[in-house]
Amino acid sequence: MGRDLISNPYGRFYYLPQALARKGHEVHIALCSYHREADIHGRIDIDGVTWSSFSLINGNPLKYYWQTKMLARKFMPEVIVGFSDTYYGILAHHLARRYSSKSLIDAYDNYESYLAWCKPLHSLWRHALAVADVITAAGPQLMELMSQGRAEGKFSEIIPMAADPNGFRPLDKIECRRRLGLPLDRKLVGYCGSIHKTRGMEVLFEAYKAIVASGEEIELILTGRKFPDVILPAGARWLGYLPDDQMPFLLNSMDVLAVMSTNSAFGAFSYPVKLYEAMCCQVPIVASHTPAIGWILRDHPDQLVSVGNHLELSRKLLQGLTLGPIDYGQREGWSDVANELEELFVALLS
């Protein structure tokens, strides 16, 4: 995901291991670094988790394989987990078989969509999924995709996404806008995430133009990585890539949040964490009705819009501007999700 997990903790990769360690489990994580930096051989202990990091840039690219093999031989774990991409799932299964451990492969996206052309890699990934002791996925649509080729009765579990413990809760809208220097005298439509054409941004931009043309005084606020070929509409404001600790203030500044996606090989299986964060903040949401997002908002179907329909999106955004805070019910945190993962480990090892 292009972020340093040790210096900038985020997501299921950090908070699930942390929660398991707090429950008394011994957890070691081996990271692969894409930067030219010194290797870290189990010298960092954070919240009970022992971290190692090996650079692909320094020396032999196969070093990560050899180092993780040495770590597995020394540690002799009961379960080896592969997460964040196809390579790690394949390696987790290989090491587990070599050292008589159980293998668990986790995915939060359709990793095959990252390198759609790399068919040999996909074949290895599919084989690893088929024979792994356990597979976990961020939602049922992705689980169904990952389960193709697996024998009936093999362990699998939905391990959903959750908001990070960074203060995602309802906050005063005016104070949040003042913190970020956002206008106090108009309605704000927000978007958080990758600003790329494949995410359905043109649909959002056309919907925004339609709202402005109707005479509504609004401003479109965007944050996230912006790709050079994306041209923002007049009146839209891009805040760049905000630090994590600013995101609760941004979400609580919005009158409505647009969550955009497409029914692509990536989008149909994408479970946006910003959606979970916005729900914790009780922000009104209007989201593309992909299979994955439809599952997250299954109790709020009125907040879904057809993929690619900018007129329906503009109508729903206008409605969202009038709603005020929405109680989405009790939201699971990473510690709750870790309980489900721990139960899976107990069943696997019993």
Q: Are 278 and 303 in contact (CB under 8 A)?
A: no
Domain residue ranges of the chain, discontinuous segments joined by + = 11-162+334-349, 173-320
Same topology, domains 11-162+334-349 and 173-320? Answer is yes
**Model-level pTM?**
0.92
Nearest C-alpha neighbor of 254 from the set 223, 209, 226, 231? 223
Query: What integer pLDDT is reported at residue 36 of this predicted model?
Result: 59
Q: Are 133 and 103 in contact (CB under 8 A)?
A: yes
State the pairing for strand pair 27-33/304-305: unpaired
Q: How many residues does the chain have?
A: 350
Instruction: Choose the most confident range, by mean pLDDT, from 5-14, 146-155, 176-185, 194-203.
Output: 176-185
Taking the domain 11-162+334-349, which CATH number applies?
Answer: 3.40.50.2000
pLDDT of 20 above 80: yes
67-92 residue pLDDT tens? 899 999 999 999 999 998 999 999 99
Query: What integer pLDDT is reported at residue 1 of this predicted model?
Result: 44
13-32 mean pLDDT? 94
Query: Is the pLDDT higher at 63 or at 65?
Result: 65
113-153 residue pLDDT tens? 988 778 888 999 999 999 999 999 999 999 999 999 998 88
Dihedral of CA atoms 192, 136, 26, 276 in degrees, nearest 10, equals: 20
Q: Are 255 and 284 in contact (CB under 8 A)?
A: yes
What is the crossing angle of helices 63-75 and 86-98, to 10°?
40
Taking the domain 173-320, which CATH number applies?
Answer: 3.40.50.2000
CA distance 133 to 151: 11
Which helix (H) or strand (E) segment holds residue 81: the answer is strand 79-82
**pLDDT mean across residues, the chain:** 92
CA distance 278 to 271: 13
CA distance 164 to 88: 23
Share of the chain above pLDDT 70, in %: 95
233-290 residue pLDDT tens? 999 999 999 999 999 999 999 999 999 999 999 999 999 999 999 999 999 999 999 9
